A = this chain, B = another copy of it.
């Protein structure tokens, strides 16, 4: 029987070269986040379908890989629709499982709880270059911290990590869902239209102001509302300090605590950052997920046209599981994009230990083999990496391959 050699559609094998970079990135991430007091934790990859379908995941809920019920529970004849056959699925993000985890275990966790998660998630997206159906996410979240200390620590920890990974001159864009709403309200949109307006606004960087104006009018909004709304963005752009201009213009339409909270985040982070980036207020930043309730932020890399991570405050979500309100805020690094950027830049993981290869000709006697292995064991003690391998017929090619893998010294042992 011949079997399938390729990975399943849309997923990929990770070869040693990429794996070395992934392990390095994970190491830097864990080390750095731990310094900020984040503690690693893990949830199962499989989650209740009811939790996954709880309207927290937006479009992702359409992309769930569902796992079939088993044994007596699977009633094939009686099944009328997909969901009769499945009651669990692969997680599409790390946030929904984290909230379930916290609801289940909060008595055994410190308050606030600073969670660090790195692990695979699955989405049955249409496969395309650089996007796979299994990919790693890397999230930090602070649960139980209502003040903006959460945002400040999340942004500092994430940007310090990016700096340690060699990224410079990037941007963190920040906005607040309450500012988005206040701007819409001030302009005259009614509350039930906000989501639709924000979907259009989110396209600003692709279609420009004119495109946004055209789409809003196409969607039936009055020209004077649209003009007033876009006038706000124009004013922000022209002002010396866009945030202050907006605060003055909106006046009481925006709560005082939101104003001071956001300003404090920007001032504190800018004054204490330990890596090379700018934190900028971006009134067009929307972030797709409907669960966000306050600040939202996003990483913009100059090398990329797209976001390389993001997050925000989602104070309402834990209440859906527990009935008890717990403030929550998180920041997710685009792990796969960072690995891709490093791979494409030709990044090499800093060598830690010396690498030696022992090549043993076939026919070496037992006692000599024993001596060679004993020597390798001795050399390994100081951390040196010693590969013990049979000498191939094509020794030249073997040594070339090993050199490419980083072996810098060879020792050859012959049968006589």
Contacts and interface: CB of A to CB of B under 8 A. Distances in A.
A104 to B, nearest CB: 4
18 contacts: A3-B321, A5-B103, A8-B88, A13-B42, A13-B101, A13-B104, A16-B40, A19-B42, A35-B385, A36-B387, A44-B134, A46-B65, A65-B67, A76-B81, A110-B401, A268-B366, A268-B369, A268-B373
Given A3-B103, A4-B48, A267-B366, 12 more contacts: A2-B323, A8-B46, A12-B44, A13-B44, A22-B42, A23-B30, A35-B384, A68-B68, A111-B392, A156-B373, A160-B380, A267-B370
B110 A388 contact: no
A387 to B, nearest CB: 3
A149 B360 contact: yes
A267 B370 CA distance: 8
Interface in A1-55: 1-8, 11-16, 19-20, 22-23, 30, 34-37, 39-48, 50-51, 54
A366 B39 CA distance: 27
Nearest to A375: B272
Contacts of A211: none
Interface in A263-277: 264, 267-268, 271-274
A253 B102 CA distance: 62
Contact of A23 (B40, B273, B323): B40
B14 A387 contact: no
A325 interface: no
A79 interface: yes
B109 A386 contact: no
A305 interface: no
A346 interface: no
Interface in A54-104: 54, 65-68, 70, 74, 76, 79, 81-82, 85-86, 88, 90, 100-101, 103-104
A104 B147 contact: no
A122 B70 CA distance: 14
A390 interface: yes
A65 B160 CA distance: 40
Nearest to A12: B44
A50 B104 contact: no
Interface string A116-156: 00001010100000000110000000000101010011001
A13 B105 CA distance: 9
A interface: dominant SS: mixed
A377 interface: yes
A120 B45 contact: yes
Contacts of A374: 271-272
A389 interface: yes
Contact of A3 (B16, B40, B100, B360): B100
B37 A386 contact: yes
A345 B5 CA distance: 43
Contacts of A42: 13-14, 19, 22
A331 to B, nearest CB: 15
Given A48-B4, A79-B76, A377 B272 contact: yes
Contacts of A272: 370, 373-374, 377
Contact of A50 (B3, B30, B74, B271): B3
Contacts of A321: 2-3, 5
Contacts of A182: none
Contacts of A30: 23
A169 interface: no
Interface in A382-412: 383-390, 392, 398, 401-402, 405
Contacts of A149: 360, 369, 388-390
Contact of A8 (B40, B44, B156): B44
Nearest to A16: B39
